[in-house]
Structure 1
Amino acid sequence: MRLPVAAETYSFGRKVFAEGLGTGLLLATVVGSGIMAQTLSGGNAAIALLCNAIATGAILIVLITILGPISGAHFNPVVTLVFALRGEVSVKSSLAYIVAQVFAAVLGVWLAHMMFGEGIVQVSQKVRTGMPQWLSEGVATFGLVVTILGAIRFRINFVPVAVGLYIVAAYWFTASTSFANPAVTFARSLTDTFSGIRPDDAPAFMIAQIGGALAAYAVCAWLLKSKEEQ
């Protein structure tokens, strides 16, 4: 999410660290709240998903608010890709952001495992595959990118809340529960808990996510252009 930030305000290293910190805390929240929800829900999957969704949306609002002015608070390789295509992030920064996002996402999963006394290194056995799941990931990512670009265009201070609310909603209106993030998808393949996904199923999710993000970029490039800009 590209919030207003003067390019010279923060060093390159601080921006990359902010991307890693935000992504790591996001994954610790996703996986940790999933473990907690499954433990306390008494087998009620709907309650567990609701708790997981609320925690994820809430942490996104916080993380985007505090880290957005530093790095833009992407926390997502496809968001970084979209802003690179828009010419707002350099190739060097994009590659550094994506490496930091993926690396920190894995660390966030491991942190959640340690906090809940789980084995640190795991491989998910959770099956998430098939056309409805892939379509859901494309739709979820499309909606996320449209939300970000639309909020930036019309109400930039509302970006953190808009993204948090969108993710809570997408947990429920998509069959895949809205991963919408390749770094998140990869990291969640390394947790055999409530929020996991089999490694074999992750690549198709990532392809769908990239496709959804590119579609949103193309649509918004047309939709958000006023008469004066045409």
Structure 2
Amino acid sequence: MAGQPTCFHEADPRLALWRRASVEGIGTFALVLAATGSGIAAARVFATLPGMILPVTAVAIAAALVALIVALGSVSGGHYNPLITLLQWLGGERNGICTVAYVAAQMLGGLLGGAAAAALWGGPSGPAGGLGWPGLGGELVASAGLMLVVFGCMRSGRTESGPFAVGAWLVADIIATPTAAYANAAVVLGALVTTGPLHLAPASAAPYLLGEALGALVAFGLVRTLFPRPGAA
């Protein structure tokens, strides 16, 4: 994206890859910790008002994501989601080595974030959730919508508004989709080892991940069709 400032790209791609990948891992850890921890907290606080759990969790997740993108995004791009990194690679905006490093850091961060929330809150994990294969469509729609907003913000070049646009959409995405919009392979991995409302049954992992991948590809096609390529007239 030379010559055109954009969100979700690092300010200095010459910065050592280990530094950039470390930020992706730390950011993903913090995001998944906030997501799963807020779910546990909401379930306890609103034990008699279960309808409040989802909106409270949605706001907490979006707030954490906006804060992390604003605080750390200039170092790594602030993805914290393998879908973003992989679509940038697919679009020729990121090389293979960087992509592998980012995705590995994100997945490790997600796993540790989910485990950390479980350890901090303690107690039994309770029944695992997830819709199984019927949830594939929900994750497809959730991921397509999220990636469309993310990459639309990239193409707009409005660097300051991007994180807030993504956070705002995420609140709606979580509430509006039947799976509560995991829309992130690192979150799915963390959800497998955590407790509380985001705790995901292993049987739901494959359909959720497949739905996310398909949704990301749908968004990629839409972005390539609706938006000019970077640097194009």
**TM-score, normalised by the number of residues in structure 2:** 0.90
Does residue 111 of structure 2 align to residue 110 of structure 1? no
Q: Distance in 1 between matches of 2:126 and 2:50?
A: 21
User: Where has structure 1 moved over 6 Å in runs of 4 or more?
Assistant: none
In the alignment, which of 201, 215, 227 is matched to residue 224 of structure 1?
Answer: 227
Q: 1:124 to 1:104 in 2, by over 3 A?
A: farther
Does residue 140 of structure 2 align to residue 138 of structure 1? yes
Mapped contact 2:118–2:195 kept (Cα < 8 A) = no
Q: Which moved more, 1:147-156 or 1:75-84?
A: 147-156
Mapped contact 2:130–2:179 kept (Cα < 8 A) = no
In the alignment, which of 49, 52, 70 is matched to residue 65 of structure 1?
Answer: 70
Measured after TM superposition, the shift of residue 54 of structure 1 is 0.6
Does residue 194 of structure 2 align to residue 191 of structure 1? yes
Aligned residues: 225
**TM-score, normalised by the number of residues in structure 1:** 0.92
Q: Distance in 1 between matches of 2:172 and 2:183?
A: 13
Residue identity in the other structure for 1:129: G
Gaps of 5+ in 2: 1-6
Which residue number in structure 2 is paired with residue 26 of structure 1? 31
What do the CA deviations read for 1:77-115 (whole angstroms, capped 9, x no partner)?
Answer: 111110001212110111111111111111111211222
Q: Distance in 1 between matches of 2:69 and 2:91?
A: 20
Which residue number in structure 1 is paired with residue 88 of structure 2? 83
Residue identity in the other structure for 1:126: G
State the superposition RMSD in angstroms: 1.9
Which residue number in structure 2 is paired with residue 47 of structure 1? 52
Q: Distance in 2 between matches of 1:130 and 1:13?
A: 37
Which residue number in structure 1 is paired with residue 204 of structure 2? 201
3-state SS in 1 of match to 2:128:
coil
Q: Distance in 2 between matches of 1:181 and 1:153?
A: 21
Q: 1:152 to 1:126 in 2, by over 3 A?
A: same
Mapped contact 1:124–1:189 kept (Cα < 8 A) = no
Mapped contact 1:3–1:156 kept (Cα < 8 A) = no
Which residue number in structure 2 is paired with residue 162 of structure 1? 165
Measured after TM superposition, the shift of residue 127 of structure 1 is 3.6
Gaps of 5+ in 1: none
Q: Distance in 1 between matches of 2:228 and 2:85?
A: 21
Q: 1:216 to 1:71 in 2, by over 3 A?
A: same
In the alignment, which of 3, 6, 26 is matched to residue 12 of structure 2?
Answer: 6
What do the CA deviations read for 1:36-89 (whole angstroms, capped 9, x no partner)?
Answer: 000000232221111111100000000011111111111111111100012121
Measured after TM superposition, the shift of residue 198 of structure 1 is 0.4
3-state SS in 1 of match to 2:189:
helix
Does residue 128 of structure 2 align to residue 125 of structure 1? yes
